């Protein structure tokens, strides 16, 4: 497993150089074909436990739901939809009130 952890450390360093915060999704994208999904997940968990505190904090801040761009867009769309419904309800109250 140490070679897998070394691979994750190298990938994490490259991601940080690119201004990205290492996450399971980014590791999966970068290391697809090199590791099986279960091996990657196990190594990722081990890597997070061994990672310096500041890296763990960054990972926790940016990936509470393992949110990728598609997830964020989906969340934004749901929020906008809810806002539209709230505004419509307020308008109905103002018109009928």
Total number of domains constituting the chain: 2
Q: Give me the torsion for CA of 16, 18, 24, 29, rounded to 10°.
A: -150
Question: Which residue positions in the chain have pLDDT lower than 70?
Answer: 1, 51-67, 96-97
Q: In terms of domains, do 14 and 60 share one? A: yes
Q: In terms of domains, do 59 and 96 share one? A: no
Q: In terms of domains, do 48 and 61 share one? A: yes
Identify the pLDDT of residue 54.
47
Identify the pLDDT of residue 17.
92
Identify the pLDDT of residue 57.
47
Identify the pLDDT of residue 66.
56
Q: In terms of domains, do 74 and 60 share one? A: no
Q: In terms of domains, do 90 and 79 share one? A: yes
Identify the pLDDT of residue 56.
46
Identify the pLDDT of residue 97.
63
pTM comes to 0.51
Q: Among 48, 4, 1, 3, which Cα is nearest to 24's? A: 48
Q: In terms of domains, do 37 and 82 share one? A: no
């Amino acid at each position: 497993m140490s070679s897998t952890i070394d691979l994750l450390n190298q990938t994490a360093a490259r991601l940080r150089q690119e201004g990205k915060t290492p996450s399971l999704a980014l590791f999966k994208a970068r290391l697809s074909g090199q590791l099986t999904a279960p091996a990657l997940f196990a190594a990722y968990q081990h890597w997070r436990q061994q990672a310096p505190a500041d890296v763990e904090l960054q990972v926790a801040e940016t990936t509470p739901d393992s949110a990728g761009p598609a997830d964020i867009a989906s969340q934004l769309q749901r929020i906008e939809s809810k806002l539209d419904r709230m505004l419509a309800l307020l308008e109905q109250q103002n018109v009928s009130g």
